[in-house]
Amino acid sequence: MRNHRRLLSAISLVSVLGLVAAACGDDDSATSDTAAPETTAAAPAGPPVGLLFDITGRGDKSFNDAAAAALDKATAELGIVPSESAPVSDGDRVERLKGMLDAGNELIIGVGFLWGDAITTATAENPDTNFAIVDSVVDAPNAFSIVFAEEQGSFLVGAAAALKSKTGKVGFIGGVENDLIKKFEAGFVAGVQAVNADIEVLVQYITQPPDFSGFNDPAKGKEIAGAMYADGADVIYSAAGGSGLGAFEAAKEAGAPGEVWAIGVDSDQYNLVAPELQPYILTSMLKKVDVAVFDAINTFVSTGSVSGLKSYDLAAGGVGYSTTGGFVDDIAADLDAYAAKIASGEIVVPSAP
């Protein structure tokens, strides 16, 4: 009944308005005087941008997650239309890249040097598409190459390891023994020796090329780290992608917090691991892939293209060390002094062991 009365009232109101309109003029004039309803046009979507992860993909709590953070930020702040893909093996990289092209992405970013061959070929075959690659150089007018001074950031965490070591023995675990990961090793060893040349550095790689599974084998990372801790190392730095998570587990099993330490890589891994592992993360070598990838997307959105080569070193804020957890607060002044000397050129960090 209540709804029925409302309907009658609405009909009556319409009738009254019709009579008023008729009294003011004919139907045509009444129609012409009525303002059209305002419409709000949908904001145009930003360009489609595709991100090609390395094999571990989003969720590795390291390298790929840093790139994913940049994609998420660009989606929220720049309005891009994002897509992402991760190969399940090195054999399907070309197919993954083709899928990004077929989807109409205007900028395609490969995360990791293993995308180098596929992107080099794609730049020539797709001159109207822009590409970017992390950790490799593709010499093409439609490609943006992003490289880092990993050895400089690794020097700082090497110095931290030496300053915190009580046994005089530390360790380095590399995912795959290639020129890129050797930069991490070289910087770490140089940082250790800058503090104390007598400290022993244990070095071991998980795999050799062309086997790149060493970047995604936490069980093997744990096994190697466990052996190093058993051999007397009390600080271990892993530059091994997802395999480094196993080294953190080994630290937890090797001793109490403060007795043994692990050092993370690429991202601030203290914030990414389980709470029970956090007391073992002394620091992380920050390789700011998130900053670099966002810069590439932002430049493309602003100008419509992105190309050239950019090196993200310590002076440019591309690498550094994390302080989350407060475990390096007591040595931060020493680390910052080393950082200043590196940035000024007073200390030249080697890029090969």
The predicted structure's pLDDT at residue 44:
54
Tens digit of each residue's pLDDT (9 = 90 or more) over 198-253: 999 999 999 999 999 999 999 999 999 999 999 999 999 999 999 999 999 999 99
Tens digit of each residue's pLDDT (9 = 90 or more) over 137-186: 999 999 999 999 999 999 999 999 999 999 999 999 999 999 999 999 99
CA distance 171 to 185: 10
On the question of pLDDT at 36 being above 80, the answer is: no
- The CATH classification number of 150-287+323-344 equals 3.40.50.2300
Query: Residue 134: which pLDDT band, with cuts at 50, 70 and 90?
Result: very high
Query: Residue 188: which pLDDT band, with cuts at 50, 70 and 90?
Result: very high
On the question of pLDDT at 348 being above 50, the answer is: yes
Q: What is the distance, to the nearest Å, from the Cα of residue 265 to the centroid of all Cα atoms in its chain?
A: 11
Q: Enumerate the domain spans of the chain.
A: 48-148+290-312, 150-287+323-344
CATH class of 48-148+290-312: alpha beta
Total-model pTM: 0.82
Which of 32-36, 193-197, 270-274, 309-313 bottoms out in mean pLDDT, i.e. has the lowest? 32-36
